[in-house]
């Protein structure tokens, strides 16, 4: 049973240049080719920026439903805004996903009112910029690992978190409310088993835990490591690399221990997607499958999970 590897990014972050980061390139390549998940340490993102988003998000999620619904995601328009319990079901054999989320695609997105949430917009945009920077470094490493020019993926992710008409990269803050004993029943989870859709996902979780990753036929816990960021591969990248890289299935169940079940849990996912008009075709030149437009692919996946 493979464990999720830990990669120390000190050499990559210090130099801001990947020419001295051969070991990191190799370790990331190995992780994405096997488990599909990796913990990053010394990634250069200040923990206080993360704490600020978690705090501002919690403040929002604890507001009454009628206020939260003022900025509800309207999927007929776009992916921005508040997503309530059961509005989206990621697991295929699941009936209830007890999670709330808020999606933001750029500083121009719909944000909760500044009156009730003064820190939300600034903390989210601040962290999203840092995550975009880190993503560019990771994309450069992946390109080198795959024998491409360093900027191959960076050039195809030029508008991350800038404008959803050009790039669908989404910053999502997630909140899993406290659960009662009656929530322990088949078909009820915090987040159903799924793989992510895009290029990569950067995931920050609080200390509560519960995320599990499918390794072979076993679920392994992705236990929170303080100060680390978890990165996983998405389906589009798996397609792009003709399965050299793996988009691993993951989930968050209702905890069996009462103390964790009663605890709320928070996480932040930064779902990275290529620019909307990028046509993704298999890098190894194989034409088993036709090329896919990045945005068309995402839309087809989102509409399958969206319930109302």
Q: Is 298 among the residues that bind ligand AKG (CB under 6 A)?
A: no
For residue 300, how many C-alpha atoms fall within 13 Å in the half-sphere facing its CB? 7
Helices 120-145 and 47-61 pack at an angle, to 10 degrees, of 130
* Of 52, 72, 4, 75, nearest in space to 302 by CA: 75
Q: Is 196 among the residues that bind Fe ion (CB under 5 A)?
A: yes
Nearer to ligand AKG, 12 or 135 (CB): 135
Minimal CB distance residue for ligand AKG: 267
CB of 290 to ligand AKG, least distance (A): 26
Among 38, 56, 138, 191, binds ligand AKG (CB under 6 A): 191
Among 80, 88, 100, 196, binds ligand AKG (CB under 6 A): 196
Nearer to ligand AKG, 9 or 211 (CB): 211
Q: How many residues in the shown chain lie near ligand AKG by CB under 6 A?
A: 10
CB of 285 to ligand AKG, least distance (A): 31
Compose the 121-160 pattern: x for residues touching ligand AKG by CB under 6 A, - for all others: ----------------------------------------
Judge contact between 28 and 12, C-beta under 8 A.
Answer: no
53 binds, among ligand AKG, Fe ion, none (CB under 5 to 8 A by kind): none
* Of 1, 3, 11, 8, nearest in space to 27 by CA: 8
- For residues 241-300, which are near Fe ion according to CB under 5 A? none
Nearer to Fe ion, 282 or 305 (CB): 305
7 binds, among ligand AKG, Fe ion, none (CB under 5 to 8 A by kind): none
267 binds, among Fe ion, ligand AKG, none (CB under 5 to 8 A by kind): ligand AKG
Q: Is 250 among the residues that bind ligand AKG (CB under 6 A)?
A: yes
Q: Measured in Å, how far apart are the chain's first and last C-alpha atoms?
A: 39
Compose the 146-185 pattern: x for residues touching Fe ion by CB under 5 A, - for all others: ----------------------------------------
Angle value at C-alpha 45, between 40 and 46, nearest 5 degrees: 125
191 binds, among Fe ion, ligand AKG, none (CB under 5 to 8 A by kind): ligand AKG
Provide the binding-site residues for ligand AKG, judged by CB under 6 A.
Answer: 174, 191, 196, 203, 205, 211, 250, 252, 267, 269
């Amino acid at each position: 049973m493979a464990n999720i590897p830990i990669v120390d990014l000190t050499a990559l972050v210090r130099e801001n240049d990947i020419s001295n980061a051969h070991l990191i390139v190799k370790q990331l390549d190995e992780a994405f080719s096997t488990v599909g998940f990796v913990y990053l340490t010394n990634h250069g993102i200040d923990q206080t920026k993360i704490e600020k988003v978690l705090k501002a998000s919690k403040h929002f999620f604890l507001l009454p439903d009628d206020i939260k619904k003022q900025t509800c995601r309207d999927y007929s328009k776009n992916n921005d805004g508040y997503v309530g319990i059961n509005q989206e079901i990621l697991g295929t054999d699941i009936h209830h996903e007890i999670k709330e989320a808020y999606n933001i695609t750029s500083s121009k997105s719909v944000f909760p009112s500044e009156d009730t949430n003064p820190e939300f917009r600034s903390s989210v945009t601040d962290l999203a910029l840092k995550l975009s920077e880190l993503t560019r470094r990771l994309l450069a490493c992946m390109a080198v690992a795959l024998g491409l020019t360093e900027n191959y993926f960076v050039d195809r992710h030029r508008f991350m978190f800038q404008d959803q008409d050009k790039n669908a990269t989404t910053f999502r803050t997630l909140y899993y409310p406290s659960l009662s004993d009656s929530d322990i029943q088949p078909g009820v989870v915090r987040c159903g088993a799924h793989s992510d859709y895009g290029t990569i996902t950067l995931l920050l979780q609080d200390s509560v835990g519960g995320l599990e990753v499918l390794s072979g036929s076993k679920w392994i816990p992705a236990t929170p490591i303080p100060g680390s960021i978890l990165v996983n591969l998405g389906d589009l990248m798996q397609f792009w690399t003709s399965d050299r890289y793996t988009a691993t299935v993951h989930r968050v169940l209702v905890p069996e221990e009462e103390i964790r079940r009663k605890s709320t849990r928070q996480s932040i996912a930064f779902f990275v997607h290529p620019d909307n008009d990028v046509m993704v075709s298999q890098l190894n030149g194989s034409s088993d499958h036709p090329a896919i437009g990045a945005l068309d692919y995402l839309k087809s996946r989102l509409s399958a999970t969206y319930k109302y």
